[in-house]
Amino acid sequence: MTEAWKNEDVSGNRLLLLLALCDYANDDGLCYPTVQTLAKKVRVQVRSVQKMLSELRSMGLVDRYKDGGGKYPNIYKVTPTPVPTDTPVPTDTPPPSVETPPSILIENHQDNQKKVKKKKSVSIDLDWMPKNLDYAREHGLAPETAREYFVTWAVSNEKKYKDWDLTWANACRSWLKNKGLPTATPRKKKQKEDEGFVKWMKECGYWGKVEDLDPFRLQYREQIDR
């Protein structure tokens, strides 16, 4: 990259493109960024990158080491300081083979392609549980009731989304509030109610002897509401 900065024959966006190629290049000067990646890096259109690549090639600063053939990106050989045309080339040194690109470049590209594969939209299960169930409470909704309504809505309408937790959060912030769902019990009040329920269950001799607490909780609430 230092050599690219020293090259006074290149300026403007062409210099930025050369620097970008140097940034991606390995110790042998080989790199394989896509044209789209270079366009984003230099902040120009793809067509401009293609034109500037052609200009840099004509200047001897960049060479197409291997054509990707549309399946893989092209592999470029970057030479920030071109070799003078009058520099003698030893005749006893065979030119490097360009028939087969380094396998590591292809493997790295394949790995990168796997990482950027788009996440598919999927359906939701009836027992789906959001990572942050309490997000509903933060927006004034009874968490479990809101979750049941949300899951039923998704399943019955055969909805598919890439990120169900994000969809859940958006629903809690917006349309779930307009469905007439029970509001959330304030934390302190709920804690006090739970403590009273446990005490009542122990006094009645039920605590630790039953598994389904909902009927007893309902009975307890009826008593304290009298």
- Give residue-wise pLDDT tens across range 161-172: 999 999 999 999
Domain ranges of the chain: 2-84+98-115, 118-184, 188-224
With contact defined as beta carbons under 8 Å apart, do 165 and 131 qualify? yes
Helix/strand/coil for 92:
coil
The model's pLDDT over 5-16, given as tens digits with 9 standing for 90+, comes to 777 788 888 888
Asked if residue 191 has pLDDT above 80, the reply is no
Task: Note the pLDDT of residue 223.
Answer: 75
Rounded Cα distance, 100 and 113, in Å: 20
Write the DSSP assignment of 180-198 as a string of letters.
TPPBPPPHHHHHHHHHHHH
Rounded Cα distance, 130 and 135, in Å: 9
With contact defined as beta carbons under 8 Å apart, do 13 and 48 qualify? yes
At 123, is the pLDDT very low, low, confident or very high (cuts 50, 70, 90)? very high
Top-confidence residue, 85 or 212: 212
Q: Which of 25-34, 179-188, 195-204, 210-219 has the lowest mean pLDDT?
A: 179-188
Amino acid at 134: D
The model's pLDDT over 17-76, given as tens digits with 9 standing for 90+, comes to 888 898 888 888 888 888 899 999 899 998 999 999 999 988 888 988 787 776 778 888
Average pLDDT, the chain: 79
Q: Once rounded to an integer, what is the mean pLDDT over residues 118-138?
A: 87
Rounded Cα distance, 137 and 218, in Å: 21
2-84+98-115: CATH number: 1.10.10.10
Asked if residue 142 has pLDDT above 70, the reply is yes
Percent share of the chain, pLDDT over 90: 23
At 93, is the pLDDT very low, low, confident or very high (cuts 50, 70, 90)? very low
List of residues 6+ apart from 158 with CB closer than 8 A: 123
At 94, is the pLDDT very low, low, confident or very high (cuts 50, 70, 90)? very low
Which is it for the CA torsion 119, 123, 125, 131, positive or negative?
positive
At 211, is the pLDDT very low, low, confident or very high (cuts 50, 70, 90)? confident
Task: Note the pLDDT of residue 87.
Answer: 45
User: Would the pTM count as exceeding 0.85?
Assistant: no
CA separation, residue 112 to residues 72, 74, 101, 159, 163 (Å):
11, 15, 17, 30, 22
The model's pLDDT over 66-90, given as tens digits with 9 standing for 90+, comes to 877 767 788 888 887 654 444 454 4
21-30 CB contacts, 8 Å cutoff, 24+ apart: 21/62, 21/76, 21/78, 22/78, 22/80, 25/76, 25/78, 28/77, 29/77, 29/78, 29/79, 30/65, 30/75, 30/76, 30/77, 30/78, 30/101, 30/102, 30/105
Beta-bridge partners for 69: 72
Sheet of 30-31: strands edge to edge?
30-31, 75-78, 62-66
Rounded Cα distance, 151 and 181, in Å: 14
